[in-house]
C-alpha cells in the first residue's frame, strides 16, 4: 500500500515527491506495541489520559478531551455551545468541508463568511458589518461563530473576539490544521490557536502535522464543558450506574492504540514544526522573484505552514499543477470554497470572491517534515522551469 496521504476523494498517486506524508518511526512503533501488549486497545487506557494531559500542557489549556476525529470534535463543540436544530452558525467559506459538516449534522443553518486576503481566514469586517446590519434591522444574531485557522495560519482572533463579545455571540475555533501556530505579539502573545475562545478543536488525521491515524481533540479551560465533552463522547453514559444514559451521546472516544501513536507524535511536534518552518523559509526565498504570491505571514503571528501553499499571479494554476505532476511532484489545488459545494450551495454567503480567487490560484507544494533538501530542490527547480 502506498504510504501517501490522500484527502478523501483524491486519486492514489505515485508521485516521487509526495505532498505530505506522516512520520512513523521508532517511538511510534514502541508506544503502539506497548499499548497492544497492555491489552488496553480500546477507548480506555493509560495512553488516552496521558495524551490528553500532555496535549493540554502543550497548547496551554486546563482540559483536553480526545475524540475519534476532528469532525467529531467540532460536532461536540457545537453541542457544548447549545447549537441545535434551526440555529444559525457563521463559518469560514474557504476551508475543508469538515469544518461545516457538523453544523449540518445538528440541523443548523450554515452562513458562510468569506476570507480576508491577509490571512486567508474569516474576514472580521464582514462579520462586523453583518452583525451591525442585523441589529439595526432587528434580525436575530447567530448562535455561534466558527473561526477556522486554515493551513496553519492564525485567524484574526483579536478582531473576531472583539466583535463577537460586543454582540454577545459565542465563538469557537477549528484549529484542525493549525496545531503549534501561535501569536507572537499583542494581547494574544504566546497563546496557541484553538485556545483563545471557549472551545477549540484539533485533528490528528493522517495528513495533519501530528497524526493518530485518525483522531481529534477538544480543548477548553471550562471544567463543566470538559466534563460534558467527555460525557457526550462516551454515549452520555452515567458512570458507575448500570447502563444509564441521560441524553443522546456519541461513540466518539479515541482508542488507546491511536493515543499511543499520538503521544509519540506529540513528543516530536517541536521538531515537526521546525521542519515545516525551514521548508517554508526555503520556498519563500526561492520563489521571491517569481510571479506568485507567497503564503500569508500576518504581523504578530507564528504560522506553521502546515501545507505550504502559494498563489499563481493570475491564471495558470492548472498548467502549473500539470507541469508539476509530469515531473512527479505531488502538488495540489486548494479547496473549492464551501459555497460551491453541493451540500452548502444554498447556504447564505457573505462576500465570496476572495475564496473563489484562492481556489482559482492556489497550489500546495510538497512539505512533508521528512522532505530532503534534495527533493525540495527538485520542487523548486520544477516550479522555476514552469515560469521560465
Ligand atoms: C482535517 C480538518 C477537519 C476534520 O478533521 P478530521 O480529523 O479529518 O475529521 C476539520 N476542519 C479542518 C479545517 C480540517 O482541515
What HEC string does 144-162 produce?
A: EEEEECHHHCCCCHHHHHH
236 CA distance to ligand 1 centroid (A)?
A: 24
Q: What are phi and psi of 324, to 5 degrees?
A: -70, -35
- Angle, vertex CA 315, rays to CA 314 and CA 316, nearest 5: 130
Q: Is the CB of 96 under 6 A from ligand 1?
A: yes
pLDDT of residue 7: 45
Q: Is the CB of 194 under 6 A from ligand 1?
A: no
42 CA distance to ligand 1 centroid (A)?
A: 22
Average pLDDT estimate for 238-250: 93
Average pLDDT estimate for 148-172: 98
203 CA distance to ligand 1 centroid (A)?
A: 6
Q: Which residue has the higher pLDDT, 8 or 206?
A: 206
Question: Which of 98, 119, 174 has the most ligand 1 atoms within 8 A of CB, as the residue to mutate?
Answer: 98
Kindly state the cell numbers that stand for 177.
490544521
What is the atom index within ligand 1 of the atom nearest the CA of 204?
7
Sheet holding 332-333, edge to edge: 292-293, 309-312, 362-364, 332-333
Q: Is the CB of 193 under 6 A from ligand 1?
A: no
What is the atom index within ligand 1 of the atom nearest the CA of 214?
7
pLDDT of residue 241: 87
pLDDT of residue 42: 83
Q: Is the CB of 173 under 6 A from ligand 1?
A: no
Q: Is the CB of 70 under 6 A from ligand 1?
A: yes
Could you read off the pLDDT of 342-385 as tens digits, one per residue? 999 999 999 999 999 999 999 999 999 999 999 999 999 999 99
pLDDT of residue 237: 95
List, as one string, the DSSP characters of 167-194.
HT--EEEE-TT-TT-EE-SGGGTTPBTT
Residue nearest to atom 5 of ligand 1 (CA): 70
pLDDT of residue 13: 54
CA-CA-CA-CA dihedral for 110, 168, 115, 69, to nearest 10 = -60
List, as one string, the DSSP characters of 62-88.
SEEEEES-HHHHHHHHHHHTT--TT-E
Q: What DSSP element (H or E) covers 131?
A: helix 124-137
CA 385 → CA 39, 324, 328, 378, distances in Å? 54, 10, 14, 10
Average pLDDT estimate for 82-111: 98
Long-range contacts of 35-44 (CB under 8 A, 24+ apart): 35/256, 35/257, 35/259, 35/260, 36/257, 38/256, 40/256, 41/255, 41/256, 41/257, 42/255, 42/256, 43/234, 43/253, 43/254, 43/255, 43/256, 44/256
Q: Is the CB of 148 under 6 A from ligand 1?
A: yes
pLDDT of residue 14: 65
70 CA distance to ligand 1 centroid (A)?
A: 5
Q: Give every CB contact of residue 296 below 8 A, 6+ residues apart in sequence.
A: 118, 119, 120, 153, 303
pLDDT bin (cut points 50, 70, 90) of residue 15 is confident
pLDDT of residue 40: 85
What is the atom index within ligand 1 of the atom nearest the CA of 95?
13
- Greatest distance between any 2 Cα atoms in the chain: 71
Q: Which residue has the cell 520542487?
A: 379
Could you read off the pLDDT of 19-31 as tens digits, one per residue? 999 999 999 999 9
pLDDT of residue 45: 83
Q: Is the CB of 216 under 6 A from ligand 1?
A: yes
Average pLDDT estimate for 140-155: 98
Nearest to 183 by CA among 304, 63, 62, 280: 304
What is the atom index within ligand 1 of the atom nearest the CA of 216?
7
Q: Quote helix, strand, coil % in the chain, to nearest 5.
A: 40, 15, 45
Of 37-41, 53-57, 64-68, 282-286, give the lowest mean pLDDT range. 37-41
What integer best gives the mean pLDDT of the chain? 95
Share of the chain above pLDDT 90, in %: 92
pLDDT of residue 3: 43
pLDDT bin (cut points 50, 70, 90) of residue 238 is very high
Could you read off the pLDDT of 104-145 as tens digits, one per residue? 999 999 999 999 999 999 999 999 999 999 999 999 999 999
Could you read off the pLDDT of 179-220 as tens digits, one per residue? 999 999 999 999 999 999 999 999 999 999 999 999 999 999
Average pLDDT estimate for 317-332: 96
Share of the chain above pLDDT 70, in %: 96
335 CA distance to ligand 1 centroid (A)?
A: 13
212 CA distance to ligand 1 centroid (A)?
A: 13
- Angle, vertex CA 251, rays to CA 247 and CA 255, nearest 5: 145
Q: Is the pLDDT of residue 315 over 90?
A: no
67 CA distance to ligand 1 centroid (A)?
A: 12
148 CA distance to ligand 1 centroid (A)?
A: 10
Nearest to 348 by CA among 161, 145, 168, 93: 93
Q: Is the CB of 174 under 6 A from ligand 1?
A: yes
Q: Is the CB of 69 under 6 A from ligand 1?
A: yes
Q: Is the CB of 200 under 6 A from ligand 1?
A: no
Average pLDDT estimate for 322-332: 96
Q: Give every CB contact of residue 97 below 8 A, 6+ residues apart in sequence.
A: 335, 338, 341, 343
Kindly state the cell numbers that stand for 40.
488496553
Residue nearest to atom 11 of ligand 1 (CA): 99
Q: Is the pLDDT of residue 1 over 50?
A: no
Amino acid at each position: 500500500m502506498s504510504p501517501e496521504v490522500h484527502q478523501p476523494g483524491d486519486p492514489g498517486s505515485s508521485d516521487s515527491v509526495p505532498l505530505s506524508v506522516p512520520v512513523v518511526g521508532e517511538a511510534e512503533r514502541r508506544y503502539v506495541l506497548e499499548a497492544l501488549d497492555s491489552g488496553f486497545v480500546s477507548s480506555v487506557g493509560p495512553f488516552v489520559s496521558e495524551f490528553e494531559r500532555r496535549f493540554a500542557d502543550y497548547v496551554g489549556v486546563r482540559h483536553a478531551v480526545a475524540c475519534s476525529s476532528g469532525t467529531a470534535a467540532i460536532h461536540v463543540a457545537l453541542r457544548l455551545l447549545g447549537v441545535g436544530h434551526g440555529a444559525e452558525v457563521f463559518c469560514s467559506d474557504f476551508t475543508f468541508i469538515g469544518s461545516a459538516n457538523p453544523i449540518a449534522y445538528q440541523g443548523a443553518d450554515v452562513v458562510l463568511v468569506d476570507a480576508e486576503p491577509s490571512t486567508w481566514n474569516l474576514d472580521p469586517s464582514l462579520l462586523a458589518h453583518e452583525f451591525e446590519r442585523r441589529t439595526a434591522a432587528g434580525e436575530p444574531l447567530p448562535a455561534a461563530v466558527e473561526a477556522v485557522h486554515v493551513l496553519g495560519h492564525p485567524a484574526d482572533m483579536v478582531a473576531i473576539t472583539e466583535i463577537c463579545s460586543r454582540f454577545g455571540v459565542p465563538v469557537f475555533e477549528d484549529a484542525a490544521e493549525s496545531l503549534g501556530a501561535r501569536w507572537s505579539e499583542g494581547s494574544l502573545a504566546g497563546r496557541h490557536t484553538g485556545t483563545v475562545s471557549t472551545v477549540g478543536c484539533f485533528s490528528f488525521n493522517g495528513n495533519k502535522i501530528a497524526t493518530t491515524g485518525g483522531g481529534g481533540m477538544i480543548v477548553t479551560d471550562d471544567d463543566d464543558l470538559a466534563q460534558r465533552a467527555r460525557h457526550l463522547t462516551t454515549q452520555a453514559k452515567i458512570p458507575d450506574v448500570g447502563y444509564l444514559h441521560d441524553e443522546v451521546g456519541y461513540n466518539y472516544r479515541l482508542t488507546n492504540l491511536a493515543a499511543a501513536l499520538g503521544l509519540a507524535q506529540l513528543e516530536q511536534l517541536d521538531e515537526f514544526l521546525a521542519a515545516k518552518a525551514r521548508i517554508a523559509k526555503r520556498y519563500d526565498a526561492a520563489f521571491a522573484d517569481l510571479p506568485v504570491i507567497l503564503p500569508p505571514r500576518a504581523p504578530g503571528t507564528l504560522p506553521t505552514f502546515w501545507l505550504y501553499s502559494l498563489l499563481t499571479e493570475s491564471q495558470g494554476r492548472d498548467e502549473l499543477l500539470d507541469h508539476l505532476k509530469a515531473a512527479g511532484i505531488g502538488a495540489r489545488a486548494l479547496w473549492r470554497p464551501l459555497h460551491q459545494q453541493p451540500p452548502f450551495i444554498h447556504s447564505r454567503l457573505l462576500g465570496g470572491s476572495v475564496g473563489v480567487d484562492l481556489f482559482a490560484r492556489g497550489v500546495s507544494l510538497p512539505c512533508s517534515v521528512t522532505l530532503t533538501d534534495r527533493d525540495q530542490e527538485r520542487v523548486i527547480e520544477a516550479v522555476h522551469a514552469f515560469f521560465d
